[in-house]
């Protein structure tokens, strides 16, 4: 596999004119199939409370907000999961604000339900999901300790944490100045610990939150370093910042289409064997262009729940996604929330392997 230096990556991210076409052609040449995948999922935000206050967030609420979800209870979760089962969803995506249990209201709700903290609650919910539904848990609970990751590996088919950026500089800007959990060192440690534990992992970058082109190159190289060392990165999400009414970064510009196209293509060059995803609900007009730049996955698409992190941007209907994919000559195919090459006892717990054998196929 061709190695790229930081200078080469920078020059590709700064490409102009014919050099952009040549970048796209190099990225496209690495595509081994015409399949574009998606995971049929259900999205369960267990709480809206979060210790961070990112300048671009529309998800977090404070306990004083009368619309805040302090803790989604077990009955509600399993009603939604049963509905998702009926729709044939395979992935149960559990996510919530980081270290929410540092907040008194969440701690009390957890104790009332018989749990010490969010990770204990998440473990219980994932375990019950495996025991009582046809869905496979994929959790995205923010920065975690290694022992928490180890515990959750038992009941998760894969896990995720957006690196977003390696830029420490952004910790002093509107994007991350009130978000201790966005310290890149903490996020790198979580992704590295997941690698040591052999957890199939999804990560990615958030583009357009004030990072420089050089910092984008450094962020991609950091994910590559981790993947070269541990081989656990199954998918890289390239997510574009979107200005939204009411957020601190409301008046910021979103990244241009060309910036996005170049970073998607460079991601494909650096990670020829991983899924590269650009969320279609944030790119209604441009989504097809990213497939031409080397993206090969639409991510989780839910037929029954909205994208709580981007509530203003509904997911496309599966039929529309199929049309969008086929219009430019690709084939839409459903995948599991774990990529095939990670389906082995090296990466998955016995419980998950048994579930896959029973519900999905003979391994």
Residues near ligand SF4, by CB under 6 A: 50, 52-54, 57, 59-60, 97-98, 179, 181
- 59 vs 78 by CB, closer to ligand SF4: 59
Residue that is written with structure tokens 């910042």 in the block:
241
Please state the closest distance from residue 56 (CB atom) to ligand SF4, in A. 7
- 97 vs 294 by CB, closer to ligand SF4: 97
Please state the closest distance from residue 50 (CB atom) to ligand SF4, in A. 3
Please state the closest distance from residue 48 (CB atom) to ligand SF4, in A. 8
- 10 vs 209 by CB, closer to ligand SF4: 209
Please state the closest distance from residue 55 (CB atom) to ligand SF4, in A. 9
- 37 vs 190 by CB, closer to ligand SF4: 190
Cα distance between residue 69 and residue 50, in whole Å = 11
Helix axes 146-153, 118-132, angle to 10 degrees: 10
- 242 vs 335 by CB, closer to ligand SF4: 242
- 28 vs 53 by CB, closer to ligand SF4: 53
| 134: Cβ contacts below 8 Å, ≥ 6 apart | 85, 90, 359
Helix axes 213-230, 184-196, angle to 10 degrees: 20
**Six-digit token string for 97:** 């604000």
Please state the closest distance from residue 134 (CB atom) to ligand SF4, in A. 29
Considering all CA atoms of the chain, what is the largest pairwise distance in Å, rounded to the nearest integer? 62
- 53 vs 177 by CB, closer to ligand SF4: 53
Please state the closest distance from residue 45 (CB atom) to ligand SF4, in A. 9
Cα distance between residue 196 and residue 126, in whole Å = 22
**Six-digit token string for 278:** 């650009």
Please state the closest distance from residue 98 (CB atom) to ligand SF4, in A. 5
H-assigned helices in the chain: 6-13, 18-28, 74-86, 104-112, 118-132, 146-153, 184-196, 213-230, 257-270, 287-292, 318-327, 350-359
The radius of gyration computed from the CA coordinates of the chain, to the nearest angstrom, equals 20
| 8: Cβ contacts below 8 Å, ≥ 6 apart | none
């Amino acid at each position: 596999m061709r190695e790229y230096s930081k200078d080469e990556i920078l020059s590709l991210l700064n490409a102009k004119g014919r050099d952009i076409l040549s970048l796209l052609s190099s990225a496209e040449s690495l595509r081994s199939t015409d399949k574009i995948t998606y995971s049929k999922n259900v999205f369960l935000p267990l709480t809206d409370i979060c210790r961070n206050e990112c300048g671009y967030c529309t998800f977090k609420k404070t306990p004083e907000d009368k619309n805040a979800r302090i803790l989604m209870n077990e009955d509600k979760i399993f009603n939604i999961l049963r509905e998702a089962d009926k729709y044939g969803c395979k992935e149960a995506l559990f996510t919530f604000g980081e270290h929410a249990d540092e907040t008194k209201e969440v701690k009390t709700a957890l104790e009332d339900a018989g749990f010490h903290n969010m990770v204990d609650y998440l473990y219980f919910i994932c375990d019950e999901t495996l025991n009582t539904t046809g869905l496979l848990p994929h959790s995205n609970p923010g920065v975690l300790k290694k022992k928490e990751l180890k515990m959750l590996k038992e009941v998760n088919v894969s896990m995720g944490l957006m690196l977003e950026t390696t830029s420490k500089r952004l910790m002093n800007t509107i994007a991350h100045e009130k978000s201790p959990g966005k310290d890149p060192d903490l996020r790198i440690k979580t992704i590295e610990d997941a690698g040591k534990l052999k957890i199939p992992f999804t990560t990615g970058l958030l583009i357009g939150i004030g990072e420089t082109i050089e910092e984008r190159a450094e962020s991609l190289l950091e994910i590559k370093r981790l993947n070269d060392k541990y081989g656990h990165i199954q998918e890289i999400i390239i997510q574009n910042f979107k200005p939204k009414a009411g957020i601190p970064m409301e008046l910021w510009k979103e990244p241009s289409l060309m910036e996005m196209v170049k970073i998607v293509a460079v991601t494909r060059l650096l990670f020829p064997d991983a899924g590269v995803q650009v969320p279609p609900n944030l790119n209604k007009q441009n989504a097809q262009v990213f497939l031409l730049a080397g993206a090969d996955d639409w991510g989780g698409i839910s037929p029954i729940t909205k994208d709580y992190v981007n509530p203003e941007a509904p997911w496309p209907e599966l039929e529309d996604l199929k049309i969008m994919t086929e219009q430019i000559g690709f084939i839409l195919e459903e995948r599991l929330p774990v990529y095939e090459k990670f389906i082995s006892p090296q990466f998955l717990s016995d419980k998950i392997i048994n579930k896959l054998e029973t519900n999905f196929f003979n391994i």
